[in-house]
Amino acid sequence: MKNEYLIAGSFHDIKIWDLQAGTLTRTIHRPMVNETHCVAVTPDGRHLVSGSCDCTVKVWRLPPPCPAKPR
DSSP class per residue in 3-54: --EEEEEETTEEEEEETTTTEEEEEEE-TT---EEEEEE-TTSSEEEEEETT
pTM of the model: 0.68
Structural domain count of the chain: 1
Query: Is 29 a member of any domain?
Result: yes
Residue 22's alpha-carbon distances to 4, 15, 33, 52, in angstroms, are 10, 13, 28, 27
Query: Is 68 a member of any domain?
Result: no
Query: Is 54 a member of any domain?
Result: yes
* Predicted local distance difference test score (pLDDT) of residue 17: 87
What pLDDT, in 10s, does the model give residues 12-57? 788 888 888 899 988 888 776 677 888 888 888 888 898 888 888 8
- The pLDDT of residue 65 is above 80: no
Query: Is 66 a member of any domain?
Result: no
Question: Which domain range does residue 13 map to?
Answer: 5-61
Query: Is 28 a member of any domain?
Result: yes
Query: Is 24 a member of any domain?
Result: yes
Query: Is 12 a member of any domain?
Result: yes
